[in-house]
Structure formats: C-alpha cells, structure tokens
A and B are shown apart, each in its own frame.
Chain A
Amino acid sequence: SAVISQKPSRDICQRGTSLTIQCQVDSQVTMMFWYRQQPGQSLTLIATANQGSEATYESGFVIDKFPISRPNLTFSTLTVSNMSPEDSSIYLCSVRASTNEKLFFGSGTQLSVL
C-alpha cells in the first residue's frame, strides 16, 4: 500500500478564515479523494481530485467552499474556505491505485473551528 502523508494533523481556526490541507503520496496513484468525517459519523466523500483538471464534487459540496488542486499524480490540496463551526471535522485524503483496488487513507486532519 502507498504511504500517504497528510498535514497539518490538526488545527484550530477562527471563523471566516481558510485552511489548506496537503496530501503527499509516495508513489503515483490514479485516483485521489477527499473525505470528511464529522463527529460520530461515517465518511462522506467531498470530491475526487483530478490530475490537471477541476475536481469532481459530490452533491452538497462546491468548489468555492472546498477548492481542490492536484498538480500531479502524487500531491493534492484541499482548502476549507470561509470556515464556520459546522466545518469542524476530520478531513481525510485517500487513494486508489485503480478502479478496482482498495482505498487507503492518509492520517487525517482534525479541524476545529471556533
């Protein structure tokens, strides 16, 4: 499995500010995703990060709020913009080697918005 480094591991932010989360993979991967896990909840897919093009967002998530970049096959960023306390969650980067392969997760970013 790939080694997935995610940073920051946690942050406490003020309302109205933005935070950019970085995800670095030690090998080239076909598919990268960003998930959110709110307290006590399961995983919700935010978007698929597409290399060299705009991310594909799931229903309920928009680019203005969660801009995503993926400049190459090993790196992606997720920005949580204009944060509110409702954005307090764990944000997880994940990768799949191909469409039928398993999904692996980064270590996650614990975000708290005051």
Chain B
Amino acid sequence: QKEVEQNSGPLSVPEGAIASLNCTYSDRGSQSFFWYRQYSGKSPELIMSIYSNGDKEDGRFTAQLNKASQYVSLLIRDSQPSDSATYLCAVIDPGNQFYFGTGTSLTVIP
C-alpha cells in the first residue's frame, strides 16, 4: 500500500523561528512532490513543488528532497502567525496518482 507519512503535530514555533515539516513516502519510483497549505475551513493551496534531489527555495519557503531516503521536507523561515495552518505533503506515484499525507498542524506563536 502506498503511503505518505507526516508527523501530525501539532508543531508550535515562536514567531521568527524556522518551522521544519517532514514527510516520508513509500514508493521509491515517485518523481513529483508537493506541499500544500490548508487554513482551517479552507481548501488546500499549493505552495511548493519539487522534482529533483536537493533544495528549492521560494521566498521564506524551502523544500528539500532526498529520493534515496524517500524524504521530503519543508522549511519555513522567519515564521509568521499567518503561517499557522495544516501542511499537506503530496506525492505523484509512477502511475500518476496523487497521494496525500495526513498533514502537520503548525502553530506560530506571536
């Protein structure tokens, strides 16, 4: 069974700190990886995509991918209270199916 696993949290960080969110996936053939942010009562919003090993930076967000370890992470620098949300990791498997993790709840404390 294909799985995408995340620590459900909640993860609490003080404002201005770095938030680190982690995700592992089971299908070694997966090639595309995404992070979605979901505010309470809202639909998921795509914030990052990554396809190659290494880091990808976009503003305060950095996605990291390690295919050998089947590990994806999202770093949020200078965390703001507005970053408080649930973050969903998603993976496209070799069959082009999307799989979502259960999400990590992040709270940024002012």
Chain A residues at the B interface, C-beta cutoff of 8 Å: 1, 41-43, 45, 90, 92, 99-100, 102-108, 110
* Max chain B C-beta neighbours (<10 A), residue from A1, A43, A92: A43
Chain B interface residues (CB < 8 Å from chain A): 32, 34, 41-46, 49, 88, 90, 92, 96, 98, 100-103
A42 — nearest CB in chain B belongs to which residue?
B102
Interface of B, helix, strand, loop or mixed by DSSP: strand
| Chain A residues closer than 8 Å to B90, beta-carbon distance | 103
- Of the candidates B32, B45, B46, the one whose C-beta lies within 8 Å of that of A100 is B32
* A43: chain B residues within 8 A (beta carbon): 44, 88, 100
Q: Which residues of A contact B32 (CB under 8 A)?
A: 100
Q: Contacts of B42 on A, CB cut-off 8 Å? A: 107-108
Contacts of B98 in A (CB 8 A): 45, 103
B88 interface neighbour in A42, A107, A108, Cβ under 8 Å: A42
B49 touches A105 (CB 8 A): no
In the complex, A43 Cα to B41 Cα: how many Å?
A: 14
Q: Which residues of the partner chain A approach B103 to less than 8 Å between Cβ atoms? A: 42
Contact B44 A102 (CB under 8 A): no
Docked CA distance A42–B104 (Å): 10
- Cβ of A78 to closest chain B Cβ, rounded Å: 15
Contact residues in B for A1 (Cβ distance below 8 Å): 46
**Considering the complex of A and B, which 4 residue pairs feature the smallest CB-CB distances, nearest first?**
A105-B43, A108-B43, A42-B102, A99-B96
CA distance A52 to B95 in the complex (A): 23
6 additional A-B residue pairs with CB within 8 Å, beyond A100-B96, A106-B43, A108-B43? A1-B46, A42-B88, A42-B100, A43-B44, A99-B96, A103-B46
